[in-house]
Amino acid sequence: MPPGEENAITDVEGVRVGHLTLNEGAVKTGVTAVIPHPGSLFREKLPAAVHVMNGFAKPVGTVQVEELGELETPIVLTNTLSVGTATDALISYMLDRHPEIGDTASTVNPLVFECNDGYLNDIRGQHVKKEHVLQALEQAETHVDEGAVGAGTGMSCFGLKGGIGTASRLTDHGMLGVLVLTNFGKIEDLLIDGRPIGREWADGACEEPDQGSIIVVVASEAGLTSRQLKRVIKRTAVGIARTGSFVGHGSGEIAIGFSTKRTETGVNETELDGLFRAAAEATEEAILNSLAAAETTVGRDGRVRRSLQELAARIL
């Protein structure tokens, strides 16, 4: 399917992404924020859904999205032990913009997702601070940097350097975009265009158990109900599987999706196949883009994650 102009989640009108990168010595971490539209999310809530493929994860806010089918804050991605800090910062961000929260209106449901970057990052140091989260939110723009940036700075994917990846596809119902935070997989399982590249390269990279996680954020211009969004984001599992993952025990795979068009009726169910295909294709490419864009990284205790490009150059 054809990609959008930027081949990014920001091809969905109104969506912006911001990164804050912490990359010095043993500190390899950061924050990535996805802002679904430029207006007031609390007052103009969007249809949303969550799909958990494997629940070895520590997100915040998914229960209410599952129950009500609504998104009312930006989506923040960071490392596992910074979820509390990110939640506090996102609440402050919303309170500053909405004096009615907790007063004349209900409280707010912040959405924060994580992956464990502790292989490369000094995760015990809890280096992500409240101001870093706020900076990522304030710096959101339509251009999306990929690879070892933002929340992806210290992440690993298929035994290589992973991180942030994004892609988009044009459907009959408008644009669908995906952003991933990749931190999963074993090198011997890596597939690229259906070819078992990882098996061929396994001797040239570190082999470890599949324990990490992937967060998939899906944005769609289609007028979908929460139920229909859940059906669409379930297909991100197809894209993950196409890259070779079997969704291991210690890896948390979660998809969060939203539509920028509010609706009560949705689209005809028979017209969802294009969106299903788009979600699968964009997820697969976003994962591969996270690998292709990342650079070889030396993290804490001298640990190294080689980039896909470096490994390919050495092998080929």
- So which residues are the catalytic ones? 213, 251, 253
How many Cα atoms occupy the beta-carbon half-sphere of 43 within 13 Å? 9
